[in-house]
Chains A and B, each alone.
Chain A
Amino acid sequence: GEDVEQSLFLSVREGDSSVINCTYTDSSSTYLYWYKQEPGAGLQLLTYIFSNMDMKQDQRLTVLLNKKDKHLSLRIADTQTGDSAIYFCAETFTGGGNKLTFGTGTQLKVEL
């Protein structure tokens, strides 16, 4: 999406932490999401954060939100080969209903 940017590619070693970054422009974001998409598969909701929060942790996943800089990140601890996929950040915003605006996607490759 033109208003939500992500780096295209990230490669990490198995067992390391992965950090996937996302920047957005809309200051009226309500919720920010992370979705995972494996090849040929649908979009799996991983986690989401309300825009007035700055951190959310869910097992191996940590979401950090810097609202001032409009920067969202997803940290995956102890990355496994099964984490290899494309990761999309997405936002909903005030006045936009609940439709999602997706980022450009980051392809995560986990190497042994």
Chain B
Amino acid sequence: AAGVIQSPRHLIKEKRETATLKCYPIPRHDTVYWYQQGPGQDPQFLISFYEKMQSDKGSIPDRFSAQQFSDYHSELNMSSLELGDSALYFCASSSTAEAFFGQGTRLTVV
């Protein structure tokens, strides 16, 4: 069965650079979520989209933005990267109460 696909799996960026993370949800899922998981932490909700419209916003810094495109894939754009942005970034998708997660993108800011 198709799962949530995230790319890239690993990303190394320098401080003040920009990063773009991509997410391809499970086909026919209408909602996409982004979460950030710091080292040794639980995942924290960043933002979600329902049918390509932003539906909810969590603790997402102003330096970050996201969108969902007409083909339902989503991108998380992160600018002016800081050392503290180093984390695992997960995308999840759902069409019911069950949310399925991708394998994540590990972002390292040096």
Which residues of B are at the interface with A, using a C-beta cutoff of 8 A?
A: 31, 33, 35, 42-45, 48, 55-56, 58, 90, 92, 94, 97-104, 106
Contact = CB atoms under 8 A, between A and B. Distances in A.
Contacts of B103: 41-42
Contacts of A101: 45
A96 B45 CA distance: 11
Q: How large is the interface on A (under 10, 10 to 19, 20 to 34, 35 or more residues)?
A: 20 to 34
B45 A99 contact: yes
A107 to B, nearest CB: 10
B26 to A, nearest CB: 12
Contacts of A24: none
22 contacts: A41-B103, A42-B104, A43-B101, A44-B101, A45-B99, A48-B97, A48-B98, A92-B97, A96-B56, A97-B56, A98-B33, A98-B48, A98-B94, A98-B99, A99-B33, A99-B45, A99-B48, A100-B35, A101-B45, A102-B42, A102-B44, A105-B42
A97 B57 CA distance: 10
Contacts of A31: 97
Tell me the interface secondary structure of chain B in the complex: strand
Among the interface residues B48, B90, B92, B94, which one has the most CB atoms of the partner chain A within 10 A?
B92
Nearest to B42: A102
A100 B56 contact: no
A43 B90 contact: yes
Contacts of B48: 97-99
A99 B58 contact: yes
A75 B104 CA distance: 27
Nearest to B55: A97
A103 to B, nearest CB: 6
Contacts of B90: 42-43
